[in-house]
Structure 1
Amino acid sequence: MRSLNLCVPHKNRLRLSSWMMYRQVLHFNRNTFSSIKKCAISIALAVGLVTGTPALEFLGQANASAIAPALPDVSVLISGPPIKDPGALLRYALPIDNKAIREVQKPLEDITESLKIAGVKALDSVERNTRQASRALKQGRTLIVGGLTKSKVDDGIELLNKLEAGLDELQKIVEDKNRAAVAPKQKELLNYVGGVEEDMVDGFPYEVPEEYKNMPLLKGRATVDMKVKVKDNPNFDECVFRIVLDGYNAPIQRGKHVFLMMLIDCIIVFFSPADGFVVQTGDPEGPAEGFIDPSTEKTRTVPLEIMVIGEKAPFYGETLEELGLYKAQTRLPFNAFGTMAMAREEFDNNSASSQVFWLLKESELTPSNANILDGRYAVFGYVTENEDLLADLKVGDVIESVQVVAGLDNLVNPSYKIAG
């Protein structure tokens, strides 16, 4: 694969005040951003969330009917601590329904919060988490094994045995008051849990709509390593970002991305010089603003694809706001640093082509679990290793290689071509 140069086209350069930054978040797209007038309703909603300022006073009575139904529903999203770890988000996003394994997972995930307590006092909370997970594993093991796919029972049992032994090791770490060893062991145990949960997935859980069946589809998950050569950075000169693409919750976006990674010759990165809350990439060289199929000379696009918690299949072509689903929460939210999503034109939901972006930080205007990007743009994966280094990318850095290291066999229709 050829080296992929990262650069910023002049048309996409931004000089952001706090308000202009917020306009960018609201209407992130491949070309330009809307006027404040066109996004005033969404701005008012978010300002109301952060400051408590009534949106009606901000917009005036003329727009009251447009926003009144949304206010109570949006506020419902801010409840409980949001999940921000990409690994945890991916585990909870798996299409399984096994309460027993989730009861093992939850206290292990909670160790992250326990470790926020200063000093060795954190270990008291970690010990409770460990005992709870061990108890849940012993009590629920039969139900967990019963939930494994027949072809993966042996693998699942092996992982459960490793998990049980690892919990004993974690207990010993706590008894020895070795705080530094807790987080690595937690990660190891959660990897076992995630493996068991993946062994519970029996095939692809739903049918893709007929009009999209011939597109590249990722029916499962794929792991990608993106190697970047960094220019003029004294801290590091090379980095490999590991990305997990989740096709269970939006197979079209993920399939398209895996397919394009094998074809695109040049990628452009869009890095906001003022606020740096996203980094964008994926625009091929030349005047085109998306991926042009060389055999048809037409732009390949994909529909907006959003999976909502509680639904069996994604919604296509409409934002959750347009569907009136103000209380709905997406299965893959913009909670984590390194959340990866498709960029699109502002007023065309189905215009995503080749450009993608990563979320670099959580601002006061885009809090986790109440993020105005959720339900408007299609998330299709998370950076799970070296995500913090995304913020160091800049114009002139080079993507040296993109390699699918696992899950390529889940890609369906890789030779898709646009008809006509």
Structure 2
Amino acid sequence: MLGLWFQGREGNSFSFKECAVSFALAVGLITGAPSMADWCPDANAVLISGPPIKDPGALLRYALPIDNKAIREVQKPLEDITDSLKIAGLKALDSVERNVRQASRALKQGKSLIIAGLAEPKRAQGGEVLDKLETGLDELQQIVESRNRDGVAPKQKELLDYVGSVEEDMVNGFPYEVPEEYKNMPLLKGRATVDMKVKVKDNPNLEDCVFRIVLDGYNAPVTAGNFVDLVQRHFYDGMQIQRADGFVVQTGDPEGPAEGFIDPSTEKTRTIPLEIMVDGEKAPVYGATLEELGLYKAQTKLPFNAFGTMAMARDEFEDNSASSQIFWLLKESELTPSNANILDGRYSVFGYITQNEDLLADVKVGDVIESMQVVAGLENLANPSYKIAG
């Protein structure tokens, strides 16, 4: 169940009854009956702040398990170009030029530290990407000097892709051990990319749409591994979108009485634990919400900030009841401001839509997922159960 603490116009908190009405707007991400009692505690305990970053690519970069200040100092001014471009006309290019110079200076001064931070097996590869980044920054400078505003954003994306690649090359293996009770489940020990093709009905301007999803197994290995395993089983192929209400888009409830994936090898529903990585920790916490753990001010490594944030639906009364039902968050809702929501720490986020995420708002109930396909990172899936006969 989802909800958000609301403040009245005079700054006073709404009553329990008013709070319950607000929560009713969000019912449906769970498989059990709604209960309002757990969702109107003290406001300070509920509002969990997250970073104001809304770009899924940036969120994924910052979520990597690395600690290299030098590459972050290149990354930040490149990301700030997005805000610079909000300035009208060619005046934006003056601000962009400052961003580019700052990034170039940071790369020149910190290049040796960046190279030192690369994982040994990936050092040559990362060095080649750094050379491309350096050349690309010079090209972006030329774009700015030629006053080609339209050329800035595509080159910015290219350079940030290089930055992300370098940062991924800094990760040396999987950084922690999954708890004993989950270590034999399908685990995504790294990142993977899935393309989801949706057949959109009743929209003359949009028929087929491919959403690219990046899954983060560094911060949610059990959740992301479960999903990749289901994708490889073609579990979602041909399934309809089951909820699309301006708040979330949701699917994953199979036909019949089961509310999740029935593993043919056991003939039982496969469930996975609530899995949440807290910023500053080396491994996720399992089986409890951050509120239940008393971590009211903790920030999640994968926050509900971006349009198209992907997470698991679960039973309201059981933290470890997620199976196959997934949802993507739409950010228009007033229930989900990026710095004040109660979704973080209550549901397992395990990825973001990184391409065509804006078109998610056009998806309707009854639209069909024609296919889901892992297009990168399948080698990071450990213990793949889809290969087991039966």
User: Under a length normalisation based on structure 2, what TM-score does the superposition of the two structures give?
Assistant: 0.90
Q: Give the counterpart letter for 2:241 in structure 1.
A: V
Partner of residue 72, structure 2: 102
Following superposition, the deviation at residue 381 of structure 1 comes to 0.3
Alignment partners' CA distance in 1, 2:133 and 2:305: 27
Mapped pair 1:307 → 2:277: yes
Following superposition, the deviation at residue 30 of structure 1 comes to 3.5
* 1:329-340 pair list within 5 angstroms: 329-340=299-310
Partner of residue 214, structure 1: 184
Cα-Cα RMSD: 2.1
Mapped pair 1:236 → 2:237: no
Partner of residue 328, structure 1: 298
Alignment partners' CA distance in 2, 1:319 and 1:18: 20
Alignment partners' CA distance in 1, 2:71 and 2:35: 48
Following superposition, the deviation at residue 195 of structure 1 comes to 0.4
**Ranges of 4+ aligned residues in structure 1 off by more than 6 Å:** none
Mapped pair 1:77 → 2:76: no
Partner of residue 23, structure 2: 22
Q: Identify the match of residue 359 of structure 1 among 312, 329, 334.
A: 329
Following superposition, the deviation at residue 35 of structure 1 comes to 4.0
Deviation string, structure 1 residues 203-245 (Cα, Å, up to 9, x no partner):
0000000000010000000000111111221111101110000
C-alpha distance 341-374 of structure 1, shift in aligned 2 (>3 A): same
Partner of residue 175, structure 1: 145
Contact residue 213 and residue 351 of structure 2 kept, 8 A: yes
Contact residue 109 and residue 190 of structure 1 kept, 8 A: yes
User: Under a length normalisation based on structure 1, what TM-score does the superposition of the two structures give?
Assistant: 0.84
Partner of residue 161, structure 2: 191
Following superposition, the deviation at residue 415 of structure 1 comes to 1.9
Q: Identify the match of residue 146 of structure 1 among 97, 108, 116.
A: 116
Alignment partners' CA distance in 1, 2:365 and 2:152: 38
Q: Give the counterpart letter for 1:287 in structure 2.
A: P
Contact residue 215 and residue 416 of structure 1 kept, 8 A: no
Partner of residue 10, structure 2: none
C-alpha distance 250-242 of structure 1, shift in aligned 2 (>3 A): same
Partner of residue 271, structure 1: 243
Contact residue 337 and residue 361 of structure 1 kept, 8 A: yes
Following superposition, the deviation at residue 180 of structure 1 comes to 1.0
Q: Identify the match of residue 390 of structure 1 among 360, 367, 377.
A: 360
Q: Which runs of 5+ in 2 are unaligned?
A: 1-17
Following superposition, the deviation at residue 40 of structure 1 comes to 4.8
Following superposition, the deviation at residue 302 of structure 1 comes to 0.3
Q: Which runs of 5+ in 1 are unaligned?
A: 1-16, 43-66
Alignment partners' CA distance in 1, 2:208 and 2:48: 42
Alignment partners' CA distance in 2, 1:297 and 1:147: 47
Alignment partners' CA distance in 2, 1:219 and 1:341: 18
User: Which SS does the other structure have where 1:321 is aligned?
Assistant: coil
Q: Give the counterpart letter for 1:245 in structure 2.
A: L
| Stretch moving more, 284-293 or 329-338 | 284-293
Contact residue 230 and residue 398 of structure 1 kept, 8 A: yes
Following superposition, the deviation at residue 23 of structure 1 comes to 3.1
Contact residue 268 and residue 283 of structure 1 kept, 8 A: no
Partner of residue 114, structure 1: 84
User: Which SS does the other structure have where 2:339 is aligned?
Assistant: coil
C-alpha distance 225-126 of structure 1, shift in aligned 2 (>3 A): same
Contact residue 244 and residue 365 of structure 2 kept, 8 A: no
C-alpha distance 172-238 of structure 1, shift in aligned 2 (>3 A): same
Q: Give the counterpart letter for 1:41 in structure 2.
A: C
C-alpha distance 350-361 of structure 1, shift in aligned 2 (>3 A): same
Deviation string, structure 1 residues 260-289 (Cα, Å, up to 9, x no partner):
11221653423244xx11000111121211
Partner of residue 11, structure 1: none
Alignment partners' CA distance in 1, 2:32 and 2:133: 49
Partner of residue 9, structure 2: none
C-alpha distance 21-230 of structure 1, shift in aligned 2 (>3 A): farther
C-alpha distance 21-354 of structure 1, shift in aligned 2 (>3 A): farther
Alignment partners' CA distance in 2, 1:395 and 1:22: 21
Q: Identify the match of residue 317 of structure 1 among 287, 290, 315.
A: 287
Q: Give the counterpart letter for 2:79 in structure 1.
A: E
Alignment partners' CA distance in 2, 1:330 and 1:107: 24
Following superposition, the deviation at residue 372 of structure 1 comes to 1.0
User: Which SS does the other structure have where 1:233 is aligned?
Assistant: coil
Contact residue 28 and residue 346 of structure 1 kept, 8 A: no
Alignment partners' CA distance in 1, 2:381 and 2:67: 25
Contact residue 218 and residue 247 of structure 1 kept, 8 A: yes
Following superposition, the deviation at residue 398 of structure 1 comes to 1.5
C-alpha distance 212-416 of structure 1, shift in aligned 2 (>3 A): farther
Aligned length: 369
Partner of residue 40, structure 2: 41
Alignment partners' CA distance in 2, 1:364 and 1:192: 34
Contact residue 30 and residue 289 of structure 1 kept, 8 A: no
Alignment partners' CA distance in 2, 1:24 and 1:213: 37
C-alpha distance 20-184 of structure 1, shift in aligned 2 (>3 A): farther
Alignment partners' CA distance in 1, 2:320 and 2:95: 47
Deviation string, structure 1 residues 368-393 (Cα, Å, up to 9, x no partner):
03221000000000000011111111
Alignment partners' CA distance in 2, 1:285 and 1:201: 40
